[in-house]
Chains A and B, each alone.
Chain A
Amino acid sequence: MSQLIESESDEGTTSSEVDNGSSSKNSFVVHNELEFFAKKLNQFGLESDEEVESERTTNETGLKLEEHRSKLLGKQITSSTTSKSSVKSSSSNDQVSREIADETSQRLDKVQIKFQSIGSIRQIIPQVARISSYQPFSVVITFLKKKLKVDTVHCYINNSFAPAPQQTVGDLWNQFKVQNELVVNYCSTVAFG
């Protein structure tokens, strides 16, 4: 059984913006652009179902953050959502939504995290969660704190070290995964000093 950390609410993204400099600096831009895309979507009369819409917004947030990341890396994105919007007018809605979905699934790679408690702190259930690979590790800490309803939690990878909060989960997963899961051990006090 697994759960989506982002699906908790949009707060996952917000906390990453609070904790992570690279996202937060552009939070205004992202928010403005989100509004713009929401308007665009309405104009093109895509699915009005609220749940789908909210999911789409979340995906778009991810898309924009990912896009920003790519921009930072000097990539000139020609297939950005903006240019997709202009394509929309000449093609059918179905085709466009399929294109967006394809693009989103390509960019929103999710990685699996396994939480293991140390000491007296309770074990969260389900033990496994999935998170987008571009999110910083601070989002995982925020998620755990919220889930456990505690103010502080000490997180370690593979019972060894505490990663820097700004390090992306995807980087950690790539380097330290065990059977395709990133093992995060957590404790209410310092466990590995």
Chain B
Amino acid sequence: MESIRRYQWNGSLNIEVLTDSAIVLAGTQEEKCRVSFRIPRDTYLTIYLPYILERLEEILKNNVTDRYKGWWFSFDQVPLDWTYPIGVLYDSLVQLDPSFRNSTMTSDTVNVWKLVIHHDEKLPPGIIPIINGMKQIQEYWMHQWKQACFVLNGSSKQIMSLAKADSMSFWYSILNRDQKTFDRILEKILQNRDTVKNIPLKIHVASSEVKLIESITNASTYDPKLTLNDILRRACPQIFSAEEPSCFAKPIVQGIEVPLDSLILNLFNCFMSFDGFLHVSVSQVKK
């Protein structure tokens, strides 16, 4: 399990961000409007906004006054909700069948997710405005953890009683990608993994045509024999029916296709995300 956690923590995505032409100085070469970088799958994209804007500052029409407010990303003209980990958005929206991806890619192939960055005073509907910079992102993340903690333990006490230094180190471990610190504080929240009450779970079902993510937050009552299939059948009975195994939808966790008969507690222990939830993307494979 240790090695799985390590692979997952180090999992990354190659991203190329193109700047929306509406905010770029006229006559700028297209090459200068692009920023390419690699970020961890298990993080919020908005955390990297200052870095991206630093690289784009020269070509923008207006001076950057706030490095968070009014900025958003889109993929295929669909605005991305920053409140989900970027890896989850990728798994849900790109909907690449992992087995197909493996067969077409060699070790030299670089997979790049192309996004567009926009800026406007008015954000598209559904995007939560960031008005308080990094602090707001941190608070949002902390509340996600509190919710997850409530689901796991029946109250948020474990996370609310963390010392200030611990709770700050917890957040900095995300920013500095320090798995050791993260795991140390995680142990305090999840004191006994075998006696959890419920498992915090988010299921993301995206439709391939509209690229819209429908998220179902589920707290499955802990039962050692509960499998992913049991939960998916209950949450999305239209996709995962009891009679026959689904041939057009696959559950993806952290970019990996996971077997339907996986025990949910095992999945949670191995693939839990940095916000305390187990995110499952239902990839609807094109027929």
Contact = CB atoms under 8 A, between A and B. Distances in A.
Given A162-B143, A163-B147, A166-B126, A22 B212 contact: yes
Contacts of B81: 21, 166
A71 to B, nearest CB: 7
Interface stretch (A45-53, A72-80, A111-119, A123-131): A72-80
Contacts of B26: none
Interface in A77-105: none
Contact of A19 (B126, B147, B218, B239): B126
Nearest to B156: A160
A175 B217 contact: yes
Contact of B212 (A72, A167, A193): A72
Contact of B215 (A70, A76, A166, A192): A166
Interface string A160-171: 111111111001
A167 B79 CA distance: 18
Contacts of B207: 71-72, 74
A69 B214 contact: yes
Nearest to A165: B128
B212 A161 contact: no
A49 to B, nearest CB: 33
Given A73-B239, A160-B160, A20 B218 contact: no
A74 B147 contact: no
B113 interface: no
Contacts, number: 93
A164 B144 contact: yes
B150 A171 contact: no
B151 interface: yes
Interface in A17-75: 17-22, 24-27, 69-75
Contacts of A166: 81, 83, 126, 128, 215
A158 B150 contact: yes
B147 A25 contact: no
B83 A25 contact: no
Interface in A163-193: 163-168, 171-172, 174-176, 192-193
Interface residues of B, number: 38
B214 A175 contact: no
Interface in B50-101: 79, 81, 83
B178 interface: no
B183 interface: no
A165 B136 CA distance: 14
Nearest to A77: B238
13 contacts: A25-B125, A73-B214, A74-B249, A76-B238, A160-B150, A164-B83, A165-B128, A166-B83, A172-B217, A175-B198, A175-B217, A175-B219, A192-B146
Interface of B: 79, 81, 83, 124-128, 139-140, 142-144, 146-147, 150-151, 155-156, 160, 198, 205-207, 210, 212-219, 236, 238-239, 249, 284
Given A74-B239, A76-B238, A161-B146, 13 more contacts: A21-B124, A73-B205, A160-B146, A160-B156, A161-B144, A161-B156, A164-B83, A164-B140, A166-B81, A166-B83, A175-B219, A193-B139, A193-B142
